[in-house]
Amino acid sequence: MSGRRHARSLRARVALTWAGFGAVACLACLLAPLVGSTAIDIRQVFDRSVPFAENTDAQIFFVARLPRALAGALVGAALASSGVVLQALLGNPLASPFTLGVSAGAALGAMLAITFPVGLSFLGLSSVPLASLAGALGAAAVVYGLATLRRRGLSTNVLLLAGVTLNAFFSAVILFVQYLSDQTQTFQAVRWLMGDLDIASYRPLVTALPLVGAAFFCFAWLPRALNLLTLGPDAAASRGIDVVGAQRLAFFSSSLATGAAVSLAGPIGFIGIVVPHLVRLLVGSDHRVVLPASALFGAAFLVACDVVARSLLAPMELPVGIITAMIGGPFFLWLLVRRT
């Protein structure tokens, strides 16, 4: 009887999570396009009596701001949920989507595309996001190969150490590539490395959506395994979990989500640390609740940060990565002190 009550309670919590955090995410995406240095009239935006080519308010809403808000939601959800998965996989509360070198690989790919342009495009994407995605997937492959080199399973310790080492190595190569670039390329690269949601079309979103969708499909199979992996691999195995399979699924799905997010908006830091811990303070530690809540709250959080980035020094727009770092840095220090 108590088991049934627990199951009903869990279903109620999950439903409440989807309803509450989903409403916050939807509200953020709907309100964000209304805020900016240029005021718009919402009635004018949806006034069909005015041709779209002559409707400035509709152009600002649908072309300049709505794609940016949707991109922020997609990137925020991907990075926040990846942070949850990696923290459970590595057993480290300070792990983030950038811990395993995937972001550094993406940054190196983008730097190479900016400094040595080749004019390559695919599905409407330029060479920079394509090179960024290729760099992220390449870094994930290298880290995974090192983590499985000496044993049949997946060593999370080697995974973490290899990721940190690869981060340092790629950072050094990025500096070397920057040294070879000219002033214009350096400026473009630095802006990209700051993380930015300056997206003025829906094509990059359509291209990144299948990758993030595939990662989320994998995430949907992980909550029970993540709950047990936090107790340790032996405890998870004793309860019927395929530990190696769950670890592989967690690693590759989080790497795919991170690579897609970074290729779309650049390396926006701290989302994968700040959001999961804030959500755990609100809903507890059960990954069946934490994972969807983090994805939805991450979407709302990054959209809100982008609104601040667009409005703080209007009409000048700050890269959103600066805002997330200014919020995430103090939070990270507080978390370190709290854990100590």
Q: What is the pLDDT of residue 181?
A: 86
More confident residue, 145 or 315: 145
What's the rounded mean pLDDT across residues 57-83? Answer: 93
pLDDT at 94: 82
d(C-alpha 266, C-alpha 146), whole Å: 26
Q: What pLDDT, on the 0 to 100 scale, is given for residue 122?
A: 60
First to last CA, the chain: 41
Q: Give the residue-averaged pLDDT of 61-87.
A: 93
Separation between Cα atoms, residue 93 and residue 54, nearest integer Å: 52
How much is the pLDDT for 79? 96
- Residue 2: its pLDDT value, please? 59
User: To the nearest whole number, what is the mean pLDDT of the chain?
Assistant: 87
pLDDT, residue 125, reads 65
Distance, CA of 320 to CA of 334 (rounded, Å): 22
CB 164 within 8 A of CB 146: no
172 pLDDT more than 90: yes
Compute the distance between CA of residue 45 and CA of residue 179 in angstroms, rounded to an integer: 46
Q: Is the pLDDT of residue 238 over 60?
A: yes
Give the model confidence (pLDDT) of 191-222 as tens digits. 888 888 888 788 888 888 999 999 999 999 99
Scan for tokens 């949806």, then name that residue. Answer: 46
Alpha helix stretches (DSSP H) within 50-116: 56-59, 66-90, 102-115
For residues 7 and 40, the model is more confident at 40
The 10s digit of each residue's pLDDT in 100-140 is: 888 899 989 989 988 887 766 665 567 788 888 899 999 99
The whole-number pLDDT of residue 301 equals 95
Q: Specify the long-range contacts of residues 152-161, CB closer than 8 Å, at least 24 apart.
A: 152/244, 153/243, 153/244, 153/247, 154/244, 154/247, 154/248, 154/251, 156/89, 156/90, 156/91, 156/247, 159/89, 159/90, 159/100, 159/251, 160/90, 160/92, 160/95, 160/99, 160/100
Q: Which residues of 248-267 are buried (b: 16+ CB within 10 A; e: fewer)?
A: bbbbbbbbbbbbbbbbbbbb
Phi (first) and psi of residue 185, to 5 degrees: -65, -40
